[in-house]
Structures are given as C-alpha cells and as structure tokens.
C-alpha cells in the first residue's frame, strides 16, 4: 500500500514539474502574453445611496474591446480589487450590428449612443444612412451640459458616434466639422490634425475659439480649467499608450466632471478607454492590462463624484470584445496575468454591463446594445 502511495506521489510530482516546465517554455516564447504585475493602486469602497429613482447626471463609460476576460485580467493584476467591484448591478450586452454578427466600434458606438443598430462603419446614422439623434444631442436640447473624453482621437469611431452623423467612420475631417454643429461643453482627446491639417484648408480650432471654446493641447493646462467651454486636443491623432500618457484619462475624467457639474440642470458625458481594444488587436496581454487598469482608475474618479453627488448614474460597458481573450494563468498575490487570444479581430461574445446610482437596476440581465442606448435616452428625456 505504501509503495502504491509513493508511486502515485511520484507520478503527481513528475506531472507538476512537467507542467511547470511547459509553462516556463510558453512564457519564454510568448512574452507579449504575460503581464508581470508592475502596477498597483488602492481601491476605495463607495456607498450607493441615490437621492431619487431618476438620475440628474449620466456618465457612460465605454471600455473599447473590454470583455469579461479583460476585466478579470485587470482584477488579477491589481491583486483582486478594481473600482468596478463597487458596482452591484451587473448585466450583459449582445453586441451584434445590423449587418454583421461581429460589430465594429462605429456600429457598436452608434447602437449605444442612439438606440439604433446600424451597419458596420456607420457613425450616428441608421441602416438607411438617416441621422439619428444621440443621447448627447438629446441631453443638450434638454439644457444639460455635455462632454466626451477619449484616449483615442476624439474623432475616432466611438466618441464620433455620440456627436457626428456620417456614413463612414473614416471621414475624420467631416466628423471634426460636426463638432462645430453642436454645443458640446467639453471634449478631451486626440485628433488635433483633423481640426487643423485639413484638405479644405480650414482651421477649425479658430472656429471653436470664435464659439467661446478654450482650445488647449497640454494636459497640465487642461486640468486647470474649472468652467466654460473646453476643447482639449491632447495629440495630433491618437494619444500614446497608458504608460506614456501620465494618467491622462483619469485626469481628463476629473476635469470634465468638474466643468460639467456647473450646469444646474445636470449633464451627460461619454468617457472611453479606447486602447483596451488595441491591446486585443495586438494579442498583447501587457497592453490590455495596463489600459484596463487605466480605465478602472478613471472609473474610480467617476465613482468618487457619483457617490458624493448621489444624483449620478454611471453605466460602464463595452462596444464589443477584442481578440477572444482567455486567461490561461495568473497570480492574485503577484498580479501576474497570462493571456491567450484566438485571433486579432473583434469577437461576437456578450460584454459586461455595470451600473451604479439612480436607475442602476434597469441595467441588469441580458440586453441588446441598442437597448442600453434606449434606456439611457429615456432617462434623459424623462427629466
């Protein structure tokens, strides 16, 4: 009997050693798929105690390409804690577009912004290319302040779908022109060249200034602004990766919320963590995790505001998942994450939805992406 036990233990030990050796081989050959646990930050707990059933303010936060694996990768990297842990109302979103099982960011963003599913590549228009009002435009008509923040160009697909109406996401200069057709109060993101280095020779920043906007490019100057209209164009096109942005997204979130809060009728803002998606396209776990942690810290700033204000609904979701990411190893103690990907494009899986504040209970269960848009628009119109 003892001999059988010893033999079994020897086999188990040999198997474990082999598994460890195989794992070491994988990590040496595929270092892009390993995050080694270099970033940590404290996570506060916030009390959800809304003053009423309907929100005065709405903060929609979109983690582009963020599926459940990306969220759990961030959770592991920060040793089991994210600001997302504060959200008790959780659901899922079906992300399909009108013409494809796999959506792109333009169609995904338009479904969220307008409540209409449309074709891939469409910006703020339906399948017949008819412009559909977005929740940002509807909020502005109700007298609310409005804003957009993004780590990509502000003219890129997701932020564009909240303010522009164009048949193609690639019409960056036309999308920039659409900003002049609105009364948006604050926008912060890249895309400076789409306003200034244009084929029509126009300098749209001059027109923005004529409309009363303070146009700035330096985040250190941008975060000093406390009121008024602000166009923060932080990069010629896209902002750099999180490690090179100096907390641009959390800082921009805090700045925008402070400006928008001056409006007594409330506000709507969409805040995007754009480059979670880009990490997925590159099959790069390190890139995904660092962008996920950056996005979560921006969520933390939004929660700080909402918990204090008690009249603000925060909804956090994604337009789609990117890369078909799976977590094939990790360590909560060290923050190490080993990720794998099935390919370099978007996937068709459901993405998570998190809600905090008044009416948060409306965002649970399985929803279609356009239903999230319709619910948010209904809450804005009800005020």
Active-site positions read 105
Contact 125, 132 (CB under 8 A): yes
6-24 in b/e form (b: 16+ CB < 10 A) is eeeeeeeeeeeeeeeeeee
Count CA atoms closer than 13 A to 334's CA, side-chain side: 9
At residue 184, the 3 state secondary structure works out as: coil
Six token digits for residue 219: 């985040």
What is the C-alpha to C-alpha distance for residues 175 and 189, in angstroms, rounded to an integer? 14
Angle between helices 248-260 and 285-309 (to 10 degrees): 20
What is the C-alpha to C-alpha distance for residues 227 and 186, in angstroms, rounded to an integer? 9
187 has which bridge partners?
Answer: 148, 231
94 has which bridge partners?
Answer: 368
């Amino acid at each position: 009997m003892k001999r059988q036990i010893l033999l079994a233990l020897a086999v188990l030990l040999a198997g474990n050693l082999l598994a460890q050796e195989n794992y070491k081989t994988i990590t040496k050959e595929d270092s892009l798929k390993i995050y080694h646990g270099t970033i940590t930050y404290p996570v506060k707990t916030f009390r959800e105690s809304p003053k009423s059933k309907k929100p005065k303010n709405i903060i929609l936060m979109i983690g582009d390409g963020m599926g459940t694996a990306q969220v759990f990768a961030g959770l592991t990297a920060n040793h089991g804690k994210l600001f997302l842990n504060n959200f008790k109302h959780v659901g899922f979103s079906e992300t399909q577009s009108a013409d494809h099982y796999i959506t792109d960011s333009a169609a995904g963003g338009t479904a969220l912004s307008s409540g209409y599913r449309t074709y891939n590549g469409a910006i703020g228009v339906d399948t017949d290319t008819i412009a559909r009002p977005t929740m940002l435009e509807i909020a502005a008509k109700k007298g609310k302040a409005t804003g957009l923040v993004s780590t990509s160009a502000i003219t890129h697909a997701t932020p564009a779908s909240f303010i522009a109406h164009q048949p193609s996401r690639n019409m960056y200069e036309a999308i920039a022109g659409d900003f002049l057709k609105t009364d948006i109060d604050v926008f912060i993101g890249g895309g400076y060249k789409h306003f200034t280095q244009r084929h029509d020779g126009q300098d749209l920043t001059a027109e923005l200034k004529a409309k009363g906007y303070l146009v700035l490019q330096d985040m250190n100057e941008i975060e000093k602004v406390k009121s008024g209209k602000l166009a923060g164009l932080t990069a010629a096109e896209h902002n750099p990766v999180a490690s090179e942005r100096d907390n641009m997204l959390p800082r921009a979130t805090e700045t925008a919320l402070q400006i928008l809060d001056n409006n007594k009728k409330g506000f709507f803002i969409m805040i995007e963590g754009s480059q979670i998606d880009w990490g997925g396209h590159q099959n790069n776990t390190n890139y995904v995790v660092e962008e996920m942690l950056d996005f979560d810290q921006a969520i933390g700033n939004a929660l700080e505001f909402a918990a204090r204000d008690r009249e603000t609904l925060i909804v956090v979701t994604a337009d789609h998942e990117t890369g078909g990411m799976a977590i094939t190893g990790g360590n909560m103690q060290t923050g190490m994450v080993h990720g794998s990907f099935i390919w370099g494009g978007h996937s068709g899986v459901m993405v998570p939805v998190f809600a905090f504040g008044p009416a948060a209970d409306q965002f649970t269960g399985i929803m279609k992406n356009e239903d999230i848009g319709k619910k948010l628009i209904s809450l804005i119109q009800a005020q």
